[in-house]
């Protein structure tokens, strides 16, 4: 029954309901059972369900357990120095992993309360009015300037222009048919708000997924020698192959040229670096005298200010596409970087009180959760949050 009891105690800690006596019980249980094989089996299994084959960073485990136990010295007070060192190095990251795992399970899969509490100053609890995640929504601006709100437009034919019909499918995507030969190009634009994302199928069959706070300008039908589109924000492209008509993406002052390929481009105005990540095929990224041709698995990182470019090999393409696949994935990212992504997806403003803590964050979180669940996890690092209307105030 100890196995169940340790999970209950850690779960209560993650919920913020662990009583002082229970906290002492948890610490004492760990102290008395540092070499119990059952502990190792339980915790290892929990962590592997979260990140198969990946060890947990020691720094993260230190921070998490520091919140459960008052200090290492208290937990291991009765263990001699040599034994203490060995036990801590083995158990500390394991228990932290379980705490994270059990906490994630509680938040993601059990339907958390509409209001949550995040640790505030002096250990007080602050109740947060929850904010739901973003969803499938965008605005279509047609060639004549009229607009269609896509999250409420319904399915079926929306317009006919430039020899191409425009429909919204049952899947909630915008689909353009191939235009008539010789027709004059008519440009449309799809814009996603903060808290929105959308999938467009262009007239040549190219698929474009737009992230929040992004836009794509494109012709209703491709009629020239090139297939030219313009993007702001972030988008993932699966370009239909056509050797006779290169596909050219204009983004800020740069352009990306392809024939048929899969790539992601991130170029938000509030980011200092534009990232182009190639999954399949080949692309050429250019801005003035700065150019690079990418192979699959490479990423071009371009300075938004100067255009200077650096090519990175063997990048984590899964991380770059995490937004499209329904989750956030952070890899040693600053609090400010994390909160910029949160602001776009939850349609909130973020303000900071005090100096940055300098914390970096790694991990994977679902995008379909209310913001409270994400903040609850981030609060494990000691960062404090409160919500006022649609503003998240961060106290590092």
Same domain, 330 and 224: no
Which CATH number is 354's domain given? 3.55.50.30
Residue 44 has what pLDDT? 53
Residue 210 or residue 4, greater confidence: 210
Closest CA to 286 of 278, 296, 276: 276
Total domains present in the chain: 3
Q: Per mean pLDDT, which range of 57-66, 200-209, 210-219, 271-280 is the poorest?
A: 57-66
Residue 234 within a domain: yes
Same domain, 86 and 145: no
Handedness of CA 64, 69, 74, 78 (dihedral sign): negative
pTM, rounded to two decimals: 0.70
Same domain, 104 and 169: no
Distant-in-sequence, close-in-space partners of 178: CB < 8 Å, separation ≥ 6: 164, 203, 204, 221
Residue 347 has what pLDDT? 96
The answer to whether residue 262 scores a pLDDT higher than 80 is yes
Distant-in-sequence, close-in-space partners of 241: CB < 8 Å, separation ≥ 6: 259, 260
Alpha carbon distance 142, 191 (integer Å): 11
pLDDT band at 110 (very low <50, low <70, confident <90, very high): very low
Kindly report each contact of residues 73-79 with a partner whose C-beta sits within 8 Å and lies 24 or more positions away, as own/partner: 74/27, 75/27, 75/30, 75/31, 76/31, 77/31, 78/31, 79/31, 79/34
Strands 360-366 and 391-395: unpaired
Same domain, 140 and 224: yes
């Amino acid at each position: 029954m100890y196995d169940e009891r340790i999970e209950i105690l850690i779960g209560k800690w993650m919920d913020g309901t662990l009583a002082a006596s229970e906290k002492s019980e948890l610490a004492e249980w760990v102290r008395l059972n540092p070499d119990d094989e059952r502990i190792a089996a339980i915790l290892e299994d929990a962590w592997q369900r979260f990140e198969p084959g990946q060890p947990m960073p020691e720094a993260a485990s230190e921070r998490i357990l520091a919140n459960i136990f008052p200090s290492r010295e208290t937990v291991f007070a009765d263990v001699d120095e040599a034994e203490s060192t060995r036990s801590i190095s083995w158990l500390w990251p394991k228990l932290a992993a379980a705490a994270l795992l059990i906490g994630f399970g509680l938040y993601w899969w059990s339907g958390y309360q509409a209001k949550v509490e995040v640790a505030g100053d002096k250990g007080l609890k602050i109740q947060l009015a929850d904010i739901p995640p973003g969803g499938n929504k965008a605005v279509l601006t047609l060639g004549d300037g009229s607009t269609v709100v896509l999250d409420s437009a319904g399915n079926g034919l929306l317009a006919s222009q430039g020899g191409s019909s425009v429909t919204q499918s049952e899947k909630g995507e915008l689909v353009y048919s191939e235009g008539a030969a010789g027709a004059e190009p008519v440009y449309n634009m799809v814009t996603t708000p903060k808290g929105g994302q959308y999938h467009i199928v262009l007239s040549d069959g190219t698929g474009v997924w737009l992230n929040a706070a992004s836009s794509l300008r494109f012709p209703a039908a491709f009629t020239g020698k090139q297939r030219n589109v313009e993007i702001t924000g972030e988008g993932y492209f699966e370009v239909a192959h056509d050797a006779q008509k290169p596909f050219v993406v204009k983004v800020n002052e740069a352009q990306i040229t392809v024939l048929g390929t899969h790539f992601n481009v991130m170029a938000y105005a509030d980011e200092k670096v534009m990232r182009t990540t190639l999954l399949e095929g080949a692309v050429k990224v250019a801005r003035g005298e700065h150019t690079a041709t990418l192979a699959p698995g490479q990423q071009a990182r371009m300075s938004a200010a100067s255009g200077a470019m650096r090519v990175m090999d063997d990048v984590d393409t899964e991380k770059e596409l995490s937004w499209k696949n329904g989750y956030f994935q952070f890899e040693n990212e600053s609090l400010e970087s994390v909160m910029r992504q949160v602001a776009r997806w939850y349609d909130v403003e973020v303000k900071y009180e005090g100096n940055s803590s300098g914390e970096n964050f790694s991990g994977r979180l679902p995008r379909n959760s209310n913001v409270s669940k994400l903040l609850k996890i981030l609060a494990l690092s000691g960062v404090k949050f409160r919500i006022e209307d649609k503003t998240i105030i961060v106290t590092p």
